[in-house]
Structure 1
Amino acid sequence: MRTDLAVIGAGPAGLAASLAASARGTRVVLVDAATEPGGQFYRQPAAGLRVGRPEALHHRWRTWERLRDGLAASSVHVLTDHHVWCVERTSGGFTVHALLGPEQEEPAEVHARAVLLATGGYEHVLPFPGWTLPGVVTAGGAQAMLKGGLVVPGRRAVVAGTGPLLLPVATGLGAAGVEVAALVESTGPVRLARHGRALAGKLPEGAGYAARLLRHRVPVLARHTVVRAHGDDRLTGVTVAALDTAGRVRPGTERQVPCDTLAVGHGMLPHTDLAEGLGCGLDGLAVAVDAQQRTDVPGVWAAGESTGIGGAALARAEGHIAGC
C-alpha cells in the first residue's frame, strides 16, 4: 500500500493528526495494533460484549465521539490489528513494516512519503519483593481490563505508586464494585503544590476524582509506598510504609493491608523505539521535536506521549499541529 503519510498509533495524537492531515488533502494511512482506534485512553469494549453505555467507562466521551465520527467521515485509511515492528528509510520515503492479526504471523507493508509517530507511552513500574505474584498488575493493566473487557481484577484492591493514572484507576475500580482498600500515593502535598501552575487547568477534573474517592470511601495514604506483596500462589496482601521527605521508608511505619489485587504504577515513559530506529534524536527520554512536531530526521514527525508525557488533551493538540 502506498500513501502520502503513514500515522503510527491511533490514540489521541494519531487520530488528531490523521484528521488534520486528511482535511488538507493528504492521503493518510493510520496504523494501530489494537482491533479498534482509540489507543489506551479511548480503549473500547469488545463488540461482542454489547455494552449499553460505554461512555460510563470513559473520561471525555464527547471528545472521543467527535474523533470517532470525524474518522468515519474522512478519507483516512485505517489499518487495525497491524503491529508495527520497524520503520525503514528508503529512497522514496519510508516503509512501515507490520505483522497482521493476533498471532502476528502475516507480514504487511505501508510505503509512505512521510511518517508521523504517535506511539504513546508505557508504564514505569519499580520492582519490589512479591511484585511477580498473580494478582499484582500494572495500573494501566487494571484500567485496560475494565475498559476493554469489562473485567475486574479482584474483589479487594490496593492502588499504589505515583502519577495521574492512579486516580482514574482507583475510582474506576470503585465504580465497578471493587472494594478499594487504599490509594497509596508516594508523593506528598508539598510536591503537588510545586506543580500547581501545571495542574491549574486540571483542578476541576481532580476535584471530580476526589469526590468519587469519597463516594467510594477509598482511604488515601499520601507519601506512602508498597514495600512488599504477600502470598504463595497468589496475592493475599501488601505491606505499606510511610516515606520521609527524601523518599526513604520511615522505620516502624509498616502495616499490612489485606487484598487480592494490587494495581501499581510509577508514571509513564515515552515509547521511542521506532523513532530511535529511524535515528531521531532524543530530548532526555522523549523524542525531540520542534514547534511543528518535526524530528531531526527529514520526513518524520512525532506527537503525543512519545515526545513527553502530558496527557490526552496535549497529545490531541500536538497531533493536530503535526497533521497541519
Structure 2
Amino acid sequence: GSCQVRIAGQPNLRACTALARDRLAITPQNRWGPRGLDPTGLIDQVFRGGIDHHHLVVRPRIANAVMQKVARTMTGFGTLPDPATSAAAEARHVVHTPTVLVVGAGAAGRRAARHLEAAGVDVLCVDRRDRATLEVAAPGPLPAELLRAGVFAAYPHEGLWAAASDPLEAPLELHTIHPRAVLLATGARDPLLPLANNDLPGVVSARGLHLLLTRSGSRPAVPVVVIGEGDEAAILGEALGAAAVVGPEEVVEIHGGDAVDGVTLKGGRRIACGLVALAPIPAPTHELAAQAGITLRFDGHGFAATSDERGRAIVDPAMPQPWTLWVAGDLRGYMGPTAAAADGEAVAAALLESLEGAR
C-alpha cells in the first residue's frame, strides 16, 4: 500500500483517508533507503528472470532475516502498534440488534436508511467517515441512527457483522451487529490511472479534492490539471477551476520532484500545474459484498455486486444466509450521486415490502 503510513503509533493507516489533527505524528512504513532511490528498478536489473520469493535468500538465516525486513518495508506492511498508544486495554464490545443494517451513508445508503426510518423500521447505518465529511459527501439528511465505524467482516454462520471504530479514537470499540436484513451501499472508489509518475506528491483524487475543498470552503491555491474520462471529469474540472481537463490517453508523463509541477501531453505540449487531480470512472467497492457471498460481475471498470432488478442480492448457494441481502447505488455499478440516491430509496422500498411480507 503506497499510502499506508504509521500514525500516532498505529500501523497500516491510509494517509489518504486519515483526518489531520494537531501534533499528529506520521511516519512512513514503505520507504527503503534514501529519498529518490527506487530499489524496485535495481531488482528488475539484477533479477531479469524474475524472483522466486519462496527460495530467495533462505540461507544463511541472517541474510534471510534482512531480506524479509527489506521486503516487508517495500511492500508497506507495518509492525505492531506502539504499546503506549495501543487502545486495547480500554477496548469495549458493543452489541446491536437492528432490524436492518445499512452499510454506507453515501448517496444511496442515507436515502435508503431515511426511507426505512420513516416507515418505523429499526435501522442502524454504519459508515467509517466522520459526520462532517458525510454532510458534504452527498445530498440529503443523515440517518438518525448513524454509527461511525468500519464494517470489516460478515459471519453468516454466527449471524453477525463486525465493525470497529477509528483506530485513532479512544477507546477502541468492537461492534457486533445481528440484523434481519442487510443493505450494502458501500459505493465506489477511484482506481489509480496507469500514468508515468502517478505517485508523485500532488497527484490526488479529483473527487476527494473537491470533497475536501467543499468541506473547508476553500479553493485550490495552485493550478490544477484534471485527468479523467466522461462528463463527470469535465464537471469536476469546472468545480476545481482546472487549468485543463485531459483524457488519460493524452498524457505522456506527470512531472515533478518534491511536488508536481506539470503534465506533458502527446504532441509535446506541457501544462504547468501544482496539482494533478485524477478523475477515472469509479469502480464498485466490492470486497465486503464478496465476503458476504454475493456474486460479482465485471462492469468494465471494476467488480459490481449482482442483484435482481429490485436490489435483492444474488448470493452464492454454497453460502446460506441468516439474513436477506440487498445492494444499492454504485455497488451495483457506478451511476453517480443522483442516480445512486434514487436507487437507494427504490431498494429500501423493496426491502420494506419483504419485511412486511415476512410478518
TM over 0.5: yes
AA of the residue aligned to 2:224: A
Structure 2 residue matching 1:315: 3-state secondary structure: helix
Give the equivalent residue in structure 2 for 1:319.
344
Instruction: Evaluate the alpha carbon distance shift between residue 152 and residue 37 of structure 1 in structure 2; reply closer, same or farther with a 3 A threshold.
Output: closer
Equivalent of 1:68, from 123, 141, 148? Answer: 141
1:95 to partner: Cα distance: 1.8
Long gaps (5+) in structure 2: 1-95, 316-320, 350-359
Instruction: Evaluate the alpha carbon distance shift between residue 117 and residue 37 of structure 1 in structure 2; reply closer, same or farther with a 3 A threshold.
Output: farther
Please say if 1:181 is aligned against 2:243.
yes
Instruction: Evaluate the alpha carbon distance shift between residue 125 and residue 265 of structure 1 in structure 2; reply closer, same or farther with a 3 A threshold.
Output: farther
Give the equivalent residue in structure 2 for 1:261.
275
Structure 2 residue matching 1:10: 3-state secondary structure: coil
Please say if 1:103 is aligned against 2:168.
yes
Structure 2 residue matching 1:230: 3-state secondary structure: strand
1:38 to partner: Cα distance: 7.4
Give the equivalent residue in structure 2 for 1:308.
333
Please say if 1:132 is aligned against 2:150.
no
Counterparts of residues 122-161 of structure 1 (less than 5 Å): 122-161=189-228
**1:230-286 CA-partner distances (Å, limit 9, x unpaired):** 112111111012xxxxxxxxxxx1211111111112211001111100110113221
Structure 1 residue matching 2:141: 3-state secondary structure: helix
AA of the residue aligned to 2:205: T
Please say if 1:88 is aligned against 2:155.
yes
Q: Given that residues 135 and 261 in structure 1 are in contact (C-alpha distance below 8 angstroms), is that contact kept between their aligned partners in structure 2?
A: yes
Please say if 1:119 is aligned against 2:137.
no
Give the equivalent residue in structure 2 for 1:293.
311
Q: Which entry has the higher C-alpha Rg, 1 or 2?
A: 2
Instruction: Evaluate the alpha carbon distance shift between residue 31 and residue 37 of structure 1 in structure 2; reply closer, same or farther with a 3 A threshold.
Output: farther
Give the equivalent residue in structure 2 for 1:210.
none
1:14 to partner: Cα distance: 0.7
Name the CA distance, whole Å, in 2 between partners of 1:233 and 1:97.
40
Give the equivalent residue in structure 2 for 1:168.
235
Q: Given that residues 329 and 343 in structure 2 are in contact (C-alpha distance below 8 angstroms), is that contact kept between their aligned partners in structure 1?
A: yes
Higher relative contact order (CA 8 A, sep 6+): 1
Give the equivalent residue in structure 2 for 1:43.
136
Give the equivalent residue in structure 2 for 1:31.
126
Give the equivalent residue in structure 2 for 1:20.
115
Long gaps (5+) in structure 1: 45-57, 59-63, 175-179, 187-223, 242-252
Equivalent of 1:3, from 95, 98, 101? Answer: 98
Equivalent of 2:287, from 262, 273, 277? Answer: 273
TM-score w.r.t. structure 1 length?
0.68
AA of the residue aligned to 1:156: P
Instruction: Evaluate the alpha carbon distance shift between residue 122 and residue 264 of structure 1 in structure 2; reply closer, same or farther with a 3 A threshold.
Output: same
Q: Given that residues 188 and 284 in structure 2 are in contact (C-alpha distance below 8 angstroms), is that contact kept between their aligned partners in structure 1?
A: yes
AA of the residue aligned to 1:78: L
Instruction: Evaluate the alpha carbon distance shift between residue 5 and residue 168 of structure 1 in structure 2; reply closer, same or farther with a 3 A threshold.
Output: same
**1:186-214 CA-partner distances (Å, limit 9, x unpaired):** 5xxxxxxxxxxxxxxxxxxxxxxxxxxxx
Name the CA distance, whole Å, in 2 between partners of 1:182 and 1:102.
39
Structure 2 residue matching 1:280: 3-state secondary structure: coil
Name the CA distance, whole Å, in 2 between partners of 1:163 and 1:148.
25
1:130 to partner: Cα distance: 1.5
Name the CA distance, whole Å, in 2 between partners of 1:108 and 1:164.
40
Instruction: Evaluate the alpha carbon distance shift between residue 4 and residue 312 of structure 1 in structure 2; reply closer, same or farther with a 3 A threshold.
Output: same
1:82 to partner: Cα distance: 0.7
| Higher strand fraction (1 or 2) | 1
Instruction: Evaluate the alpha carbon distance shift between residue 15 and residue 4 of structure 1 in structure 2; reply closer, same or farther with a 3 A threshold.
Output: same
AA of the residue aligned to 1:235: V
Root mean square deviation of aligned Cα: 2.2
269-278 vs 159-168, which moves further: 159-168
Name the CA distance, whole Å, in 2 between partners of 1:86 and 1:152.
38
Percent identity among equivalent residues? 31
Name the CA distance, whole Å, in 2 between partners of 1:274 and 1:119.
8
